[in-house]
Amino acid sequence: MTLKNVGGFIRDFLRDFSDRVLKTLKHLRWKMVLAGVVVGLVSGALVATYRLGIEYGTDFARWMYAQILQNMLWIVPCVVFAIVAGLFIGWMSRKESMASGSGIPQVVGYVQRGLKMCWNTILPVRFVGGLLGSLFGLSLGREGPSIQIGACGAQMMSRIFRKGDKNDTQEHYVVTAGAAAGLSAAFSAPLSGLMFAMEEVQHGLSSTVLMGAAAASICADFVSQTCFGLRPVLDFGRIPDLPMALHFWLIPLGIFAGLIGSLMNRSLLGLQTLYKYLPKWAPVSVACLIAIPVGLYLPDVLGGGSNLVKLSEYGKVSIALLCLLFIAKMLFTSTSFGCGAPGGIFMPILAVGALAGGVASRAIISIPLLGIDSKLMPIFTVCVMAGTLSASVKAPLTSILLTVEMSGTMIHTLPVAASAFIALLVSDILRTKPIYGELLERYMASNPKLVR
């Protein structure tokens, strides 16, 4: 065989191979994987920027309130700034209502119910409104907004690179992948981001969507870990194993978590209803003003509440203080979220659940006759926290996966899953509606013009 023949054979082989690769990549599932990689990198970068800004904003709020305590004259400009910032945030939220509140109901509404979503107006309101709210320490999480930011980043890429119908099924698949990337980057938890997208956004499993969302979650997690390190947001540390003989405690703990999750939903929705009696321009300013005394005298409840999770698990604090923080966090979250400011409730719900779990675990351990080791407080606390999220959001698989990912081991899957499903059962018995589903119904009822 001559050199010329060898060269022709290699050329034909490479041409056939490249044609086969290109033909394979044109299949929808591989198009979704490639789109997921791009969406994961873009959405991950957007969420990382937002996450960093919110963290700095909350740190500033704590510093500002500490300075005011040293010189109470500073409270006057703080009040004025709170009113002005509240008016501005409220004006932005009314102009682009899709960027108000959590953002998760809006994404679900876009994918499932035909809501209109415009990334180019939502992203500026999300960033500016969220950062301004964090300067006062409003009890709002960044996870819900991160999901919408990820979804908007995905829609942006879809509108830039795709031709034809801009609201078709494939764009919804890409937006679902962006939502998964958003939660993955917010928590540094790719499996939880993937499951949340399937369980809450897509409301079902599809191999095509699953592959795109998985690629987006992994890439977004890569961006997040590059920016913030390898430790997850909720690093539970070393949680002791729960002995099999004590697994019966999961029944009362699950019931308790179900009650807390149901109470949390009623508090959130109740305060949102109360705010409707105020003029449209007033709610956010009222919420910012409420944040001032809270920040001055209970700074631990400012922001999303990741600090409260660690305090509940390992902090050497009394039951009385935990009860106070629990009540304050629940009410402050309700006043912060009910006003309609851009911000989520995912992390605050986890914080409320962790505080409730801290109260329950300390109450159990404080009874000498039970003979339960104090080292088991963290596992009891984590079970109640997962159960509270499951009862409130009605997404038990996400609750279980998130807890397992944060603990870094599969050993606690059984107790966490049992608590999550028992809490979900209690929530259903009490006819508690899923918080994001109810928020979506309220949003669509008040914004009928946004339905396509």
Q: For 109-165, write each residue's pLDDT tens digit.
A: 888 888 888 889 999 999 999 999 999 999 998 888 999 999 999 999 888 877 655
Q: How far is CA 165 from CA 74, 102, 159, 170, 308, in A?
A: 54, 28, 9, 9, 46
pLDDT over 90 at 82, yes or no? yes
Where residue 322 falls among pLDDT bands split at 50, 70, 90? very high
191 vs 415: CA distance, rounded Å = 19
pLDDT over 60 at 13, yes or no? no
Contact of 124 with 148, CB cutoff 8 Å: no
284 vs 367: CA distance, rounded Å = 44
135 vs 60: CA distance, rounded Å = 6
pLDDT over 80 at 26, yes or no? no
Residue position matching structure tokens 């917010």: 186
288 vs 134: CA distance, rounded Å = 10
pLDDT over 80 at 183, yes or no? yes
Contact of 188 with 232, CB cutoff 8 Å: yes
Task: Report the pLDDT averaged over residues 313-335.
Answer: 89
Helix (H, G, I), strand (E, B) or coil at 269: helix
Contacts of 40 (CB under 8 A, 6+ apart): 177, 181, 184, 215, 216, 217, 218, 219, 220, 222, 223
Q: To the nearest whole number, what is the mean pLDDT of the chain?
A: 86
Q: Which residue has the higher pLDDT, 409 or 154?
A: 154
The pLDDT of residue 260 is 95
Domains and CATH numbers, the chain: 27-226 (1.10.3080.10), 242-446 (1.10.3080.10)
365 vs 363: CA distance, rounded Å = 6
Contact of 380 with 236, CB cutoff 8 Å: no
124 vs 131: CA distance, rounded Å = 11
Minimal CA–CA distance to 47: which of 161, 135, 173, 179? 179
Q: How far is CA 334 from CA 84, 118, 274, 431, in A?
A: 21, 27, 11, 20
pLDDT over 80 at 221, yes or no? yes
The pLDDT of residue 121 is 92
Q: Which among 11-15, 80-84, 246-250 has the top mean pLDDT?
A: 80-84
Where residue 290 falls among pLDDT bands split at 50, 70, 90? very high
For 80, counting Cβ atoms within 10 Å of its Cβ (0-12 exposed, 13-18 middle, 19+ buried), the class is exposed
Q: Which residue has the higher pLDDT, 86 or 3?
A: 86
Where residue 14 falls among pLDDT bands split at 50, 70, 90? low
217 vs 129: CA distance, rounded Å = 26
pLDDT over 70 at 372, yes or no? yes
pLDDT in tens, 423-436: 999 999 999 999 99
Q: What is the pTM of this model?
A: 0.89
